[in-house]
Chain A
Amino acid sequence: MWEVCQQQAQAASPELQETLLNKVVCLPDHLSNKLQGENLPIFLPQNYFPLLGTEIIQVLQRISDSLRGGLDCSISFVSQVLGKVCVHGRQKEILSTLVPCLTDLTKSDCIWQRMCWRLVECVPDRWMEAVVCGFVQAAPGADVLSRLLGNLVVKNKKAQFVVTQKLLLLQYSCPTAMLQNVLGYLALDNSRRFLLINVLQELMETWASSSAVKHSPVEQQLYISKAILICLSHLKDVEIDSHRQELFTCMMEGMKCHLDSNLPRIRCLGMIVAESISSRINTDGPILKFQYEEDDETRELKSLLIQMPSPPSVISPPDEGRKDSPSAVTEAESKPDRKPLAAACAVSEEGSDSELDSDDDLIPYDMSADKELKKTKAPLYIRDCIEVLTGPEDADKWEATMRVLETLIQRNTAATQEVSVELAKVLLHLEEKTYIDDFVELRQKALVAVTTTDPVPVAQYLTSQFYSLNYSLRQRMDILDVLALAAQELSRPKAPGKNKLSSVQTPYIQILPGSDSSKDWRRIVDERIRSKTRRFAKGQSQVELVCAPNKFSSVAGHFFFPLIQNFDRPLVTFDLLGDDHFVLGRLAHTLAILLYFAVNTMVAAAMGKALLEFVWALRFHTDSYVRQGLLSCVSSMLLSVPSDRLLEDVTEELVETQTWLADVAEKDPDGDCRRLALQNLLLMENLKKKLEAAPS
């Protein structure tokens, strides 16, 4: 039946063609409408369209036969069928049969190649996008794509737009393989290479635009970075030479705005891309080198760059493009395989060469204390410590002091209280004179210990220093970290025996910015979930609960209010609302943490009110990290402030906040922000329910 239709179609009138086209493509819909439940399985779309695909191949076969026979044939109806099917969203079904066949047939036959190009070219413009996307998706490699599409992008404006703009810049859902297809396709033919360069320029412009960095989601930035790296891998040195200056300016621009970002992932992306570009444009000079942590993402990005630029021949040898990537993959895969094998060998060797019986029955004791012997003695008094830390350099003594300081402070509370502010000052200004591997941690622990032993004066000192001149951002953030940790320490009920254990287990706030506070709010959220979840089997948690007064309650105000007071007064060296938005984000997170630990205290209501005003003032901040901080402020306020006080004091603000939250949950470009806003809305809903239930 189909063959007949299509045979006839080649000579039929336009109207007839139109109806036929409609009928052919929409047959499954019509049939299912008519037959309702009794539809034949062959007419289900997932069966029908592959069938249609094989039919198209057959028709093409005949056309090729007739072409060989010298007869002229039009292919446009088949193209129309293809286009219409694709635009109906059935690309996958039909192309899954078409593409493999065409790949085989076009491998050596130039008539088939020409026919195939013609087939795609004849697709009407309105359906072009769907067809091209379908081909890009279905093609197994760039060379196949190049064989199937020919120079379509050069001939057809629409296709060019789809390939160079739509697939790369206007969306970010394609997998990496597809990106490689598209860019490889552009790179394979000399007539298309100018497009590749254009594409790279546009990608670089996007990458380097600070507004794009600020307002587009991380995923899209990752996508663009990948595309840039693939482009770079395809470019030849000559082409790079001719565009070196542009690339260089873009790189500098982009690096600046990436490194400016508060999100570690974006910073990392910027570093990798900039490193790659600089290594390509500076073949002999010094290249950029950043320090970042290797993870799967960075490794993947780097592997994109390793792919060698394909040779400049017009028709590349088959599978050239594909060979590179799978070999890299197999190499990477085989490596971890070998290691355990080698390890196993080593183990077995060791086992075989010694006696059968071993020392295994002797259980070793803990030997972690076995460290390099230190020549100098650590000081025994707090005042000695201050002397060492401020005095002349003596590396060994200094290190010993740092290591012993926290325990000294905790042991001698009274002695510490005498010099607490002085000690805090010394510690805050302390610089790493000689390298100690965990210096930052030691200093932080010591500062936290000072703050917990003498909360009020030290907190006053620290909060006043936060807003004073002549501090680095690092120091200001240290202040915030210390305050948050001290609050946690103070609010934790202390049982003499378990104290040690718990302090070991709780992850202290790490120094890597970004990760730590996110950990903090994650912990808060976890705790919140725990508090909201009803547990049926409560095992040990109940047994271990220790009752103790919340020491933080009496001093919470000293921690909180000085911090929230001055945020809108810019100093010469410190402008929270301007460039230093990273610290502002940290400040917001810290305030949220402080309020969270002040739960069940008298001052919480006042703190909540102040915090809500703070949030309101900053709610349209452009930086997503700051917004995240604000949203965690809202949630800790909802959790810590008693609900009746909330309703009494800040009803209007609450309603306003709710609308803002709804807005954020819907429109914010950052995924984390949306999620936090949603959680807040949920909390508000719960609150409302509770209030409704209470009076009745």
Chain B
Amino acid sequence: MTKQLVERKMMTALMSSPGFSVCSLFECSYFWMIATMALPPPDPEFVLRGTAAPVHTLHFSCRGQEPEFPILFSGSANGLVQIWNLKTHRVDTTLDGHGGKSVYWVETIRGRDELLSQGRDQKICLWDLAEGRSMVTDSISMDSVGFCRCSLLKMAQDRWLIAMPANDPDEVQVLELPSKTSVCTLKPEAGAKLGMPMCLKLWQPGFGACPFLMAGYEDGSVILWNLSMGKMLSRLACHQEPVMSLDFDSEKAKGVSGSSEKVLSVWSLDEQQNLKVHKTHELINSGISDVTIRQDRKILATAGWDYRIRIFGWKKMKPLAVLDFHTATVHCVSFSDHSSPSERLLAAGSKDHRISIWSLYNQT
């Protein structure tokens, strides 16, 4: 389809319409732009600068009522957790509890009053942030030295499960919080040769149901664990390289994982609890450090080693946007939990010390 052809068709259509005017000619060229050229990718809503170190993890807390303001937690390579006020775009509080070792996972519990942070100093700290305090009230020490981020699941009021890598390199340990009692240790059979766990995702089919764990391993496979029985239900070798990140949509029983290769793998879970590959999506450049599905299950975002954030439609993995802003590897992407969908934001943290905040596909 050549441009001339389309324009000519449009022109004839316009000329024959009764309200033909020069103005509609301009509209015509505007339509042309939309029809063929697509809009240029958007710019970030705003950029947060001042972490002074590569940003490794991000977590929003935006559900609070007025006069509370939306905040964003960021954990960076210098061991600091910073709390950003998204109204003023400035750091409100800085938490220093990991002795200068990189923080690579943060999560809130009890609204925004308590915060869990996992650092490379092999500690998970529990922070009390209520009423302006900022102190470590408790800590769990880990024996693992890997890069695996923990995963948290709320089981009931004041009861959580946390999955984290255990002392044996290929094991995953699940604890109950706040009691810190061990629920189970997930150990693959001898000779499975999975390598270390690389990423974890706790989920449950419905509230109160028995929880499951999705774990991605160093050998490129994704494993579904049943926590109550402590046994492996299904194993899917969907990558050649270590699985860097995964996310799972329990409603559609479909998940996505990224590795250091050029592909995103989408897999699904059938009724017999078997994982199978649903689709793979080829990327231009290799390396995915993080992948997140938005809470409304419409889009997903990936953080790429190629400095770019990619947005896909979740239903069909239709590529929607490539956000090219950062000048170094993007480490993490996170969607905000705003209660109104139109305010929802996407944050991305990068090795270039910057956090970019984007507003995308918010119209419902």
Contacts and interface: CB of A to CB of B under 8 A. Distances in A.
Given A358-B315, A359-B313, A539-B25, A369 B324 contact: yes
Interface stretch (B33-41, B165-173, B206-214): B33-41
A362 interface: yes
A357 B41 contact: no
A332 interface: no
B316 A358 contact: yes
A354 B316 CA distance: 7
Contacts of B41: 365-367, 369
A365 B284 contact: no
Contacts of B42: 365
Contacts of A437: none
Contacts of B361: 362
A370 interface: yes
A358 B26 CA distance: 32
A67 to B, nearest CB: 65
B22 A367 contact: no
A579 interface: no
B50 interface: no
Contacts of A540: 22, 25-26
Given A539-B22, A539-B25, A540-B25, A365 B316 contact: no
Interface string B316-352: 1011111010000000000000000000000000000
B285 A372 contact: yes
Given A359-B313, A359-B318, A365-B320, A373 B39 contact: no
Contacts of A286: none
Interface in A361-400: 362-367, 369-373
A543 interface: yes
Interface residues of A, number: 19
Contact of B322 (A354, A359, A367): A367
Nearest to A367: B322
Q: Which of A362, A369, A539, A540 has most B Cβ within 10 Å?
A: A362
A359 B315 contact: yes
Contact of B38 (A358, A366, A372, A373): A366
A365 B43 CA distance: 12
Nearest to B40: A366
B318 A364 contact: yes
A284 interface: no
B159 interface: no
A130 to B, nearest CB: 47
A493 B284 CA distance: 40
Contacts of A370: 284, 308, 322, 324
A362 B318 contact: yes
A355 interface: yes
A365 B38 contact: yes
Nearest to B324: A369
Contacts of A543: 22
A359 B321 CA distance: 13
Contacts of B315: 354-355, 357-359
A379 to B, nearest CB: 17
Contacts of B320: 359, 362-365
Contacts of B313: 358-359, 362
A362 B296 CA distance: 14
Contacts of B307: 373
Interface residues of B, number: 27
B176 interface: no
Interface in A475-506: none
Given A362-B361, A365-B41, A543-B22, A371 B316 contact: no
Nearest to B285: A373
Contacts of A373: 284-285, 306-307
Nearest to A543: B22
A364 B317 CA distance: 12
Contacts of B298: 359, 362
A358 B319 CA distance: 13
A367 B319 CA distance: 9
Interface string A328-369: 000000000000000000000000001101110011111101
A366 B41 CA distance: 6
A369 B316 contact: no
Given A370-B284, A370-B322, A365 B25 contact: no
Contacts of B238: none
Contacts of B318: 358-359, 362, 364
Q: Which of B26, B42, B321 has most A Cβ within 10 Å?
A: B321
Contacts of A367: 38, 41, 319, 321-322
Nearest to B322: A370
Nearest to B15: A537
A563 to B, nearest CB: 34
A365 B308 contact: no
Interface in B261-313: 284-285, 298-299, 306-308, 313
B29 to A, nearest CB: 8
A362 B316 CA distance: 11
A451 B40 CA distance: 31
A363 B42 CA distance: 13
A249 B323 CA distance: 62
Nearest to B41: A365
B22 A362 contact: no
Contacts of B306: 373
A577 B161 CA distance: 89
A357 B284 CA distance: 27
Nearest to A377: B327
A364 B299 contact: no
A94 to B, nearest CB: 47
B324 A359 contact: no
A393 B298 CA distance: 48
Contacts of B321: 364-365, 367
Contacts of B40: 365-366
A494 to B, nearest CB: 20
Contacts of A355: 315
A404 to B, nearest CB: 16
A543 B320 CA distance: 36
A369 B307 CA distance: 13
Interface string A206-218: 0000000000000
B249 to A, nearest CB: 12
Nearest to B252: A355
Interface string A257-288: 00000000000000000000000000000000
B40 to A, nearest CB: 5
Contacts of A354: 315-316
Nearest to A370: B322
A357 B316 CA distance: 10
A121 B40 CA distance: 78
Contact of A372 (B37, B284, B299, B316): B284
Nearest to A368: B38
B325 to A, nearest CB: 12
B322 A362 contact: no
Nearest to A540: B25
A362 B38 contact: no
A367 to B, nearest CB: 5
B278 to A, nearest CB: 10
Contacts of A358: 313, 315-316, 318
Given A354-B316, A359-B320, A370-B324, 6 more contacts: A359-B298, A359-B318, A362-B298, A362-B318, A364-B38, A373-B284
28 contacts: A354-B316, A357-B315, A358-B313, A358-B315, A358-B316, A359-B313, A359-B315, A359-B318, A362-B313, A362-B318, A362-B361, A363-B38, A364-B38, A364-B319, A364-B320, A365-B39, A365-B321, A365-B322, A366-B37, A366-B39, A366-B40, A369-B41, A370-B284, A371-B284, A372-B284, A373-B284, A373-B307, A540-B25
Interface of A: 354-355, 357-359, 362-367, 369-373, 539-540, 543
A-B CB proximity, top 5 nearest: A359-B313, A366-B38, A365-B321, A359-B318, A370-B322
Interface of B: 22, 25-26, 37-42, 284-285, 298-299, 306-308, 313-316, 318-322, 324, 361
